[in-house]
Structure 1
């Protein structure tokens, strides 16, 4: 392309590469989803259709971007994780965030009719999401971040389940329920659910209690002790991998099935049985039936 006298404006663009050899988490959140969920009459405390829609959109993002190694979602938020070795878009923050947000939003809107066939989208209540990129320097801190989100899921869901049960089944006003729950701990909420309404919280669906974790499925491995420091030292940036190796890994990632699970990601077992998430190296593909 020929130069022009106007090309100097490119100098105003600021470079925004993220630090190398760090985990990149792009976390997206729904904008104004309280009003949106009220307008479309989402069920309380959880609307399975809405959660399945979030998961379906997230799965499409994972398929579109093989550099993603894991994602975790709850309510109207999702965290997408890039391995420290990823060089996608030269690790430019704006490119990574906008690609995740726009791709997720596009699939969310496209798939809406599948999950809400009798409730079409109408302006001004159209779904949109914002996002930000956060860096985590070690595997342990990345796992602590994921654990934080899952603990938050449990705390919020237990509160919401108790609150809406008191309102919908106990016929209490929102204010009355809020006042009674103020200062309570988990055991108090479990007791309210069981003694007043005969609900054992442990029997609630796992998707509500644990959220949703998405990853590429390979042959599971037997659990073993994770050496976090060794793993962190062993990270090999894609830029230092041969082109043949990079292409091989990408093909294996694209061939692997993206699964949606509702399991404990705080304990070591989840990570030990799926070492490819931490190592960044695809595992053994499952045989197709």
Structure 2
């Protein structure tokens, strides 16, 4: 997965190649945590990079529910669904988790556990399901995911739309102007954040596999260092925005706090899928 995809970032054209940064020291792999936030608002409406770990886990959990329900449907037909790419935790461009990036690099994250261990079908399954069965079972999966996602998706979408307004905030704009100079001090010459991700993608695609982890960690360390002044401005601004957002959407937030976690526990019990989150 590219750095741009990992951060859900829109990248500009790649700049001219730059010298590779020095190799970073080895760091341990990211872990998983099952600890829920003290307030589900932090899982659905994150305002800090650290809070997005809960958001990532929630997103993956919903997608696991879809896959589990679809596989159960196919198993009942004695058939197998087509192979799908493994699920991954995806970080957020608007809310960079700098502590995580500094430790694990741009692409490093915890591994999503297999939600459906064991065979995908029963012993009588001999072939991939027929197209009609695939469509029906995928629809069952979509319905299972929607049962959870519909509890928070509309409110979460409004929150992420609200966050976009910070791109035009004068204090944020001023803070972002410091980024190119800081990155240049690390041997990374780009015009802006999008240019950085374009460069990171280029290096990911052209670096020898044995050197790639060190290069990615070094890029992640530089990014985390240079984005800290930006986040020092954005994070308090996001927290203020969220306080207003919670007031403006008090009824929806009250429902979210009362219903989301019980619904997640019911889904865990029904499908045998554990809700987990990436952890440093």
- Same fold, judged at TM 0.5 (above): no
TM-score (norm 2): 0.28
Larger strand proportion of the pair: 1
Q: Under a length normalisation based on structure 1, what TM-score does the superposition of the two structures give?
A: 0.28
Instruction: Choose between structure 1 and 2 for higher RCO, CA contacts under 8 A separated by at least 6 residues.
Output: 2
Q: Which has the higher helix share?
A: 2
